[in-house]
Amino acid sequence: MLRFLVRRVAFGALVMLIVSLVVFILFYVASDPASSFCGRTCTPERKTQIKIVLGLNRSYPRQYLSFLNHLLHGDLGTSFVNRISVNSVIKSGLPATASLALGAAVLWLLMGIPIGITAATKPRSVRDRLATLFALVGVSLPSFVVGLMLLNLLFFQLTTHGHPWFPPSGYVGITDNPLQWARHLLLPWFTLAFITAAAYARLTRGSMLEVLGEDYIRTARAKGLRERTVIYKHGLRSALTPVITLLGIDIGTLLGGTVVTEQLFGLQGIGQSALNAVHNNDLPVVLGTVLVAAFFIVLANIVVDLLYAVLDARVRLS
């Protein structure tokens, strides 16, 4: 187990190294950071000066090593636009992004898993077909379409009819006002959850069907256990293993920025700042966000692999 962990972490580190190399090449070799920094009113003198200040006059390998050195010390660089450290940009965006991702995850689990179970316990029935349809519609809906519809119906129509229940945008810290926090996040949560719940319903159905066909389930049935006990106690536990795997990876991906939803609902999260940075040509912020997002994905993969190993062992033992 320990060796497995060490190996996974080593591979994770390798992935991060590759990601850092790729973004370095993208931002420092394939593009011209000095010009971006210089802005529109740039003179050749100023640009040379900037190159010296930013260390861009050194060879690429040396630049990369120094870039890597900063990274290893947890320093993601400084924004070109407002000279704030990228670390603090990310830190200020994390609460909104994390609230959005985790809350949505709870919601989509609550929606997706029951639908999947219902469908699996009676395959080819009407409710299975309905569940399949729900899943297909959900998979087909882009998040911004869902978000726009929610905005139109639940914010705009309600508000113009005198029920301003949902605000259109903004983020309120959970420590400032938990109620407002939830009120502001409800629509974004649903936006994210709806499209993701569909995938979870499909996955739960598929893995549940597979598990219910296995020998030990048939044995449990043959032993005369109640159908509910068979499904919930014996079936669900192992059927949820792939769901948990996907959940870990999805949360990891979302923590790196839920660009579309944040943009749509004006939440100042990591994704929003990255998007703004792209439009402002603020390369360090974009780069820092990509690295942080990749880090979350890699981390989530490691956690999931470990969890999977533990769960799988337990399922096999029981």
Partner 1 sequence: MSETLVPAQPDTPVTAAAKEGAVVARTPTQLAWRRIKRDKVSLAAAVFILFVILVAIFAPVVCHIIGQSPTSQDRGDHGLTLDGVPVGPSRYHWLGTDEVGRDVLARLIYGSRISLIVGVLATAFELVIGIVVGLLAGYYSGKTDTLLSRFMDVVLSFPFILTALSIVAVTGPSLWVSIVVITFFGWSNIGRIVRGQVLSMREREFVEAARSLGAGDLRIMRKDLLPNLVGPLIVYSTLLIPVNIVSEATLSFLGLGVVPPTATWGNMLAGSADGLYRVAWWYLTFPAMALVLTTLAFNLLGDGLRDALDPRADRVLATK
Which CB atom, from 48 or from 157, has the smaller least distance to partner 1? 157
Under rule CB under 8 A, residue 236 binds partner 1: no
Q: Kindly state the number of chain residues that form the binding site for partner 1, as judged by CB under 8 A.
A: 53
Distances (CA, A) of 285 to 36, 87, 96, 267: 12, 9, 17, 17
* Residues 4-43 contacting partner 1, CB under 8 A: 11, 15, 18-19, 22-23, 26-27, 30-31
Nearest distance in Å: CB 178, partner 1: 28
Which CB atom, from 236 or from 290, has the smaller least distance to partner 1? 290
Which CB atom, from 65 or from 145, has the smaller least distance to partner 1? 145
Nearest distance in Å: CB 221, partner 1: 13
Which CB atom, from 92 or from 276, has the smaller least distance to partner 1? 276
Q: Residues in the site for partner 1, rule: CB under 8 A?
A: 11, 15, 18-19, 22-23, 26-27, 30-31, 123-124, 132, 136-137, 139-145, 148-149, 151-152, 156, 209, 213, 253, 256-257, 259-260, 263-264, 271, 274-275, 277-279, 281, 283, 286-287, 289-290, 293-294, 297-298, 301
